[in-house]
Every structure is written in structure tokens, then in C-alpha cells.
Amino acid sequence: MTDMLVRLYDLPPAGPVLERLAPAGIVCRRPEAYERSAVLAFVRAHFPGWVDETEVALARSPATCFVAQRGAELLGFACFHATRPNFFGPTGVAEVERGRGIGTALLLLALHAMAAEGYAYAVIGSVGPAAFYERTVGAFAIPGSDPGIYRNRLDRPAP
């Protein structure tokens, strides 16, 4: 899957998306260190291939991760600076919660956090839903980026 590039200096605001989630009781924020196990349990249950990278994001202080929750229920997550510096992802929303704007909110919060750190661009690695990223943040494919940094992985044979 191809990597994509995002212009962080040209992002839509996160506020309107967060405001649309608020009436449903959905809050997006960075997890605290003491919530690490809960976040990893969610990722392990819904997205087991992304546990390693999520652990890296949660080990930082502050965490380079955002979560969405309703009450004490975790609904989704988005990491950055996990795979590599300046990379967005992994990210995921529980299947039953998709289509509400949670993924959009998490994406925008993470990318705005990267922009606040001084980055002008972000890489979204090994993209699945390319049309979503194109539409939401104007991301575009990086030519020749498949398989990108994921070649020669220890846990998978080389392509």
C-alpha cells in the first residue's frame, strides 16, 4: 500500500468535527499514562497488528496518541510519531462506531498536534482508505512508496 503526504499548514480545523461529536457524549483527547493498558487492550481486540506501534506512541510523554471515548468506553485511537518521526498512524475506530466522524476528529487532532510541533508535512504510511485521506485533509500519494518503510519486516517475509 502506498504512503501519502499531507500539508500540515493547510489543514481544516478540528473544532467543528469535535462539536458534532459532543452531543453524543463523545470526547477526544490524549490518554494518560495510567490508561496505557486500557488503550492497548482496545487496540489488541480490534486492531492486533498495530499494538507495537501504539505501545511506542503511549510510551512518550505526552503520548503521541489521541483516543475517542464515550463515558468509559473507548471508541477509537490515532497515533503519530510511532512508526517513524513525522508519520501519522496507526489509527482505527471500532467497527460499530464508524461513520460518525470519530476517525476524522482523531486524524485532525493528531495532524494539528504535529503542526504545532513545527512540522510542515506528515506522512501517512501504508494507506488503506486513500479516498478518505484525500477528501478529509488533501493527502496525496507519494510515488514509489509501496512497500516503503515496511519492506523487510521481521514478522513477514520480504515481497
Task: Give the pLDDT confidence of 71-116 residue by residue, as tens digits.
Answer: 999 999 999 999 999 999 999 999 999 999 999 999 999 999 999 9
- pLDDT at residue number 155: 75
- pLDDT at residue number 151: 75
pLDDT at 159 over 60: no
What domains lie within the chain, and their CATH numbers?
Answer: 4-143 (3.40.630.30)
pLDDT at 17 over 70: yes
Return the SS3 of 72. Answer: coil
Give the C-alpha separation, 106 to 42, whole Å.
16
- pLDDT at residue number 156: 63
Give the C-alpha separation, 17 to 41, whole Å.
26
Give the C-alpha separation, 32 to 157, whole Å.
36
How many of the other CB atoms lie within 10 Å of CB of 108?
24
Q: Show the cell assigned to 25.
A: 457524549
pLDDT at 36 over 90: yes
